[in-house]
Structures are given as C-alpha cells and as structure tokens.
Amino acid sequence: MAGEISTLSVNKKGFASLKTTIPMSLIKQWDLKPHDKLSWKWKVIDGDMVVVVTKYDDAKSTSKKPIKKN
C-alpha cells in the first residue's frame, strides 16, 4: 500500500476544522482541479481508523455516491 505524510494546518480562524495538502500522486491520478469534491468514509478496524477517499462527482450522481476511477 502506498502512502504519504501530510501536515494539518488551521483552515480558518474561529472554525473547528483543519486542512491538509492533497498529495500530487492523487491529484495526477484523479486529475483533480480546484473546487473538485472528495468523499471521505472511515471506520475503525482493530483500533485503527481507516479512511477511504474517492473523487466525488455530484453532477453524474443524483444519489450522492462517490465515483471510482482506476
């Protein structure tokens, strides 16, 4: 499994969220552009939180399901 490390930073002062950089390998793989959406799903497996991120295309999906791109 490939992986990268990113650092969190403050999103906006006064907001309870953080932001991080999307690794270039994902940007190239999914041809990401500003304002594209990502779908984040997670679950705990053996005490570890596992996150699955997929490119989301709400223009193609009225049921709000993430798209998969290989």
Extents of the domains making up the chain: 23-70
What's the CA gap between 55 and 27, in Å, rounded? 10
Q: 2-24 pLDDT, tens per residue?
A: 788 889 999 888 888 899 899 89
pLDDT for position 12: 85
pLDDT for position 34: 94
pTM score, two decimals?
0.63
> Cα 57–64–55 angle (5° rounding)?
35
Q: Is the dihedral of CA 69, 52, 64, 30 positive or negative?
A: negative
State CA 20 to chain mean position distance: 10
Q: What is the mean pLDDT of residues 52-66?
A: 70
What's the CA gap between 41 and 53, in Å, rounded? 7
Reply yes or no on whether the pLDDT at 65 is more than 60. Answer: no
